[in-house]
Amino acid sequence: MREPLLMLGALFAALGVGLGAFGAHGLKARLGESLPTWETAVFYQLIHALAIVAVAVLIRSGAEMPALRSVGWLFCAGIVLFSGSLYLLALGGPRWFGPITPLGGVAFMAGWLWLAVAAARSSAGS
């Protein structure tokens, strides 16, 4: 059975490594004061890419937590919205990308909280 979250998590991780290296070497001069913004985007992308992989592994292992798939998709949305908007802002994108960033943060938090709820429900049923 294919697990799209496993594939996406791996792709987000590879992309995060590439974007981190590109920001540190290829874009360092262009980013200037925006380099910390770029680094924050990479950091959150990599953490959540690994979280997506972990969620996918749990799904594939047959964990009895139906909410896991939703958790993975919330992390994906968080990467796109949070990290994506920060990358665009760091590159000089329109300032209206700024309000998108917190939506990604909310998706990250919702994913972690949903995972906690799913884990609590799973252990209560054991």
**Is the model more confident about 63 or about 37?**
37
**3-class DSSP state of 17:** helix
Q: Radius of gyration over alpha carbons of the chain, in Å?
A: 16
**pLDDT category, 39, cuts 50, 70, 90?**
very high
Please state the φ and ψ torsions of residue 66, each to the nearest 5 degrees.
-60, -25
* pLDDT mean over 88-101: 94
18 token code pair: 């590439």
Q: Tell me the pTM.
A: 0.93
Packing angle of the helix pair 4-21, 35-60 (nearest 10 deg): 160
**3-class DSSP state of 2:** coil
Q: Is 65 left (phi over 0), alpha (psi -120 to 50) or beta?
A: beta
**Is the model more confident about 25 or about 126?**
25
Q: Who's near 10: CB < 8 A, 6+ residues apart?
A: 49, 53
